[in-house]
Amino acid sequence: MTGLNLRLIIPVGRLAIDAFFPASKALEKIIGQRLKYSRALVVPLPHPSDLSRWYQNQEHRALIYYALEMIRDLNLTSTPLPL
Protein backbone atom coordinates (compact mmCIF):
# COMPACT_ATOMS: atom_id res chain seq x y z
CA MET A 1 0.00 0.00 0.00
CA THR A 2 1.35 3.40 -0.93
CA GLY A 3 1.09 6.60 1.09
CA LEU A 4 -1.94 8.81 0.77
CA ASN A 5 -1.68 12.03 -1.18
CA LEU A 6 -4.08 14.10 0.92
CA ARG A 7 -4.79 17.68 -0.01
CA LEU A 8 -7.47 18.44 2.56
CA ILE A 9 -8.14 17.15 6.06
CA ILE A 10 -11.38 18.12 7.78
CA PRO A 11 -11.30 17.11 11.45
CA VAL A 12 -14.85 17.14 12.84
CA GLY A 13 -15.32 17.50 16.57
CA ARG A 14 -13.02 18.30 19.47
CA LEU A 15 -11.28 14.93 19.60
CA ALA A 16 -10.27 15.06 15.92
CA ILE A 17 -9.42 18.78 16.07
CA ASP A 18 -7.10 18.22 19.04
CA ALA A 19 -4.91 16.02 16.84
CA PHE A 20 -3.94 19.12 14.83
CA PHE A 21 -4.61 22.16 17.06
CA PRO A 22 -3.73 22.82 20.71
CA ALA A 23 -6.37 21.30 23.00
CA SER A 24 -6.28 24.35 25.24
CA LYS A 25 -7.67 26.64 22.54
CA ALA A 26 -11.39 27.35 22.48
CA LEU A 27 -13.32 26.31 19.36
CA GLU A 28 -13.99 30.02 18.70
CA LYS A 29 -10.25 30.43 18.11
CA ILE A 30 -9.95 27.34 15.88
CA ILE A 31 -13.06 27.10 13.66
CA GLY A 32 -12.53 29.21 10.56
CA GLN A 33 -8.76 28.77 10.73
CA ARG A 34 -6.60 26.53 8.62
CA LEU A 35 -3.12 25.14 8.88
CA LYS A 36 -0.73 23.20 6.74
CA TYR A 37 -0.05 19.59 7.69
CA SER A 38 2.51 17.97 5.44
CA ARG A 39 1.06 18.74 1.97
CA ALA A 40 -2.55 18.98 3.13
CA LEU A 41 -4.59 21.87 4.46
CA VAL A 42 -6.46 21.25 7.70
CA VAL A 43 -9.83 23.01 8.09
CA PRO A 44 -11.62 22.02 11.31
CA LEU A 45 -15.38 21.91 11.88
CA PRO A 46 -17.32 21.49 15.14
CA HIS A 47 -19.21 18.29 15.83
CA PRO A 48 -22.72 18.52 14.31
CA SER A 49 -24.44 16.77 17.23
CA ASP A 50 -27.87 18.01 18.24
CA LEU A 51 -26.65 17.82 21.81
CA SER A 52 -24.10 20.56 21.15
CA ARG A 53 -25.29 24.11 21.61
CA TRP A 54 -22.06 25.58 20.25
CA TYR A 55 -23.26 25.89 16.66
CA GLN A 56 -26.57 27.44 17.75
CA ASN A 57 -24.79 30.70 18.62
CA GLN A 58 -25.02 33.09 15.64
CA GLU A 59 -21.33 34.14 15.89
CA HIS A 60 -20.23 30.52 16.00
CA ARG A 61 -22.46 29.69 13.05
CA ALA A 62 -20.74 32.48 11.08
CA LEU A 63 -17.38 30.79 11.78
CA ILE A 64 -18.76 27.51 10.44
CA TYR A 65 -20.00 29.19 7.26
CA TYR A 66 -16.61 30.85 6.85
CA ALA A 67 -14.85 27.47 7.21
CA LEU A 68 -17.21 25.87 4.67
CA GLU A 69 -16.59 28.70 2.21
CA MET A 70 -12.86 28.23 2.72
CA ILE A 71 -13.22 24.55 1.80
CA ARG A 72 -15.38 25.38 -1.23
CA ASP A 73 -12.90 28.01 -2.44
CA LEU A 74 -10.04 25.49 -2.43
CA ASN A 75 -11.58 24.13 -5.64
CA LEU A 76 -10.03 20.71 -5.16
CA THR A 77 -12.22 19.11 -7.82
CA SER A 78 -10.44 20.92 -10.64
CA THR A 79 -7.26 18.87 -10.20
CA PRO A 80 -7.71 15.11 -10.60
CA LEU A 81 -6.13 12.87 -8.03
CA PRO A 82 -3.27 10.68 -9.24
CA LEU A 83 -4.14 6.99 -9.65
The string of pLDDT tens digits covering residues 26-61 is 999 999 999 998 889 999 999 988 888 888 899 999
List alpha helices for 2-82, DSSP H. 14-17, 27-30, 58-73
Separation of alpha carbons 22 and 6, rounded Å:
22
Residue 77 has pLDDT above 70, yes or no: no
Separation of alpha carbons 40 and 37, rounded Å:
5
Q: Is the pTM of this model over 0.85?
A: no
Q: What is the DSSP letter of 59?
A: H
Separation of alpha carbons 25 and 28, rounded Å:
8
Residue 2 has pLDDT above 60, yes or no: no
